[in-house]
Amino acid sequence: MSKSSGLIGIDIAYVVALIGTIFSSVFFVVGGRMHMLSHEHYFLILDFFPSLFFFLNGMTVTLTMRDRRISTRRLQAYLGKRGSILLLLGLLFVKSWDLNLLLACGIFYLLAPVVAEWNNIILRTLCIASALMTVVLINFDLPASVTTFSVKLSGADGKDLLAFLMFNGYFSVLPWITFFLAGMLYGRSEMRPRGLYPISSIVCVVAMALAFFVEEYCKTLYGMRDSVDTISVFPFSFKFYLPAFLIFSIASCILFLNVLLYVFRKDIPLKFEQFVQSFSSSKYSIYFFASFLGFIILNSSNTVAFRDKFVIFFTAITVIVLSIVLTAQWKKRLTQNAPVEWLIKRISGSAKK
């Protein structure tokens, strides 16, 4: 048995978030259903996973900043270089993989050194402002949109490219930076909740219930739903309008982390801990391989074959398994670090002194 630091729950959360994000992105992109994803609607379950991933990114930035053994200036430089590498890797798939987590993470890490030193009041204000800005922007006809195999830019000018990077609805800056900022705020709180039902968890349950009332209000306000259901299997088919989704998902992320940090606060098997930490420390490489495999599938298969939802589910699971295997083989045969993490470490070095 191994004495848990109490934070192994974070690594487990990363594993869950990564697997879920790859599954949802493969389903939507390979399934050729990106046209069914809109700025107004978000899938309550499938879109929870990327929101959790970005939430964890923000939280781990804060936790690292709280480590007095690490120079703040060195950490800020490290985050900037990490962001640049992830952004460049994400740009490799900008025309082939619509749900581009690497691109979004790159932008967030570039912004992190700027906002990491701000106090809680400013950070909360920025988090609320980003949520409100997203809700406002869904009412405008932005010039950029995402389609499979290409970036459709009306007029192809700088304004269109900026709109694509900042707000295309999925894995751009908005609305996902709201979760990143919420994660940074969570990282500044007490990371070892007392009891299974701490006050923060109770508040989250109330907020999740409130989200359903907000959803009912949004139905009367917007008054429209997608004419075609992308997923017919309940509860995966359940959608929320953006305001309700933001409330529900942020509360869900906090509640999920509270539970994991409490459950895994005691001794755990050493092999299990090592496996989970190895998995979570290779997250960007696993997603990189998943994007690469998805690119191969999209360019070598007949899209008619993916009209069957069973085929899409099987493809998503296959991509997840192969991505994990490829990453494990890289670490076994080439370097101890997975490829993307190796590149980040090679170029930016370590955050520690």
> Cα–chain-centroid distance for residue 42?
14
Predicted TM-score (pTM) of this structure: 0.89
Instruction: Report, as an integer, the average pLDDT of 288-310.
Output: 80
Interatomic CA distance for residues 207 and 203, integer angstroms: 6
Please give the structure tokens belonging to residue 285. 């490489």
Left (φ > 0), alpha (ψ -120 to 50) or beta: where does 272 sit? Answer: alpha
Q: Which carries the bigger pLDDT value, residue 312 or residue 86?
A: 86
Interatomic CA distance for residues 97 and 65, integer angstroms: 32
On whether the CB atoms of residues 285 and 228 are closer than 8 A, the answer is no
**Residue 145 reports pLDDT greater than 50:** yes
Q: In the structure, what pLDDT confidence band is assigned to residue 118 with cuts at 50, 70 and 90?
A: confident
Type of residue numbered 116: A
User: What average pLDDT does the chain have?
Assistant: 82
**Residue 149 reports pLDDT greater than 60:** no
pLDDT confidence of residue 166: 74
Interatomic CA distance for residues 123 and 109, integer angstroms: 15
